Amino acid sequence: MNPLVDVRGLEYTYEDGSHALRGVDFQLDPGETVALLGPNGSGKTTFVLHLNGLLKGEGQVRVCGLEVTTGNLAVIRRKVGLVFQDSDNQLFMPTVLEDVAFGLLNLGISPEQAAVRAQSALENVGMALAAQRAPYHLSAGEKKRVALAGVLAMDPELLVFDEPTTFLDPPGQRALAALLTQLPQAKILVTHDANFALAVCSRAVFFQEGRVAGAGPVEEVISQFEWSFRSPAPSAVR
């Protein structure tokens, strides 16, 4: 089986000279859900921004059988749905329905069809009643669901989430985890939340200083890199 995502030797340096990715190799199979763990600045977000061509580094990036090149961007961006950390950045249209329809209209779908598909996507995430509301009136959890509807409406093959649990309270996190496990698409989750990764993902990849430092079942990776919160011993606090 060909991998859905196949990245080899990916390097990326920001304009300020910081070397964010130093030869990343990564594969993801169709239907698989993988957590990207690792410290701040380890290159996780920079890596996922390459998957739909928002950043262009050195190396090979193939998604859904297509090389990520300028000529393929329109197709790639339909196939890869990116849900950003701060939903406020993703919900820029005046109403929820218009926001969800935004990507569909960019695909050239007629306004009538776009409205129907957007409404259907909102129903899938349990936000159908919010269609005519303004995004800034929604709670953080509702915003996250609407942002997800915005990418689901485009019928992507791969969903990428950047810190999906940020701004969500524990009930909101549980609801999101339940929703994600129901979605059939392959998923990549950039997260610091080990519990969320355990609940949703089958595999984890640990990033460190722009490289993949380890990969395997989520529990093993968490244990190997001590990636869960534990209260420090009293002697360590002093």
Partner 1 sequence: MHHAVVERWSRGTSALHRRDPRAKIAVLLVYLIVLATAHRNFALIGVVLLLLVLAGFLVARLPVSRALARAAVVLPFSLAFAAALWLVGDPYRGLTLVTKAWLSALAVLLVIATTPLPLLVHGLESAGAPRFLLTIAQFLYRYLFVIAEETAHITKAAASRGATMRGLLGRRARFRAAAGALGVLFARSYGRAEDVHRAMLSRGFSGKLETLGTLRFRTADAGFLAVTSALLVGVRAL
| 96 touches partner 1 by CB under 8 A | no
Per CB under 8 A, which of residues 103..122 are in contact with partner 1? 103, 105-107, 111, 114-115
Q: How many residues bind partner 1, per CB under 8 A?
A: 34
Angle at 78 between CA 75 and CA 79, to 5 degrees: 90
| 54 touches partner 1 by CB under 8 A | yes
Distance (Å, rounded) from C-alpha 215 to C-alpha 28? 12
Nearer to partner 1, 106 or 139 (CB): 106
Figure out which of the listed residues 101, 152, 158, 177 binds partner 1, where binding follows CB under 8 A. 101
Q: Shortest distance, CB of residue 205 to partner 1, whole angstroms?
A: 21
Closest CA to 135 of 82, 84, 87, 169: 87
- DSSP E strands in 65-162: the ranges are 66-67, 80-83, 158-162
Distance (Å, rounded) from C-alpha 185 to C-alpha 194? 21
**Four-residue CA torsion sign, 87, 88, 94, 95:** positive
- Fill in the per-residue mask, 120 to 159: x = in contact with partner 1 (CB under 8 A), - = not in contact: --------------xxx-------------xx--x-----
Closest CA to 44 of 163, 177, 144, 156: 163
Site residues (vs partner 1, CB under 8 A): 49, 52, 54, 74, 77-78, 80, 82, 84, 86, 88-90, 92-95, 97-98, 101-103, 105-107, 111, 114-115, 134-136, 150-151, 154
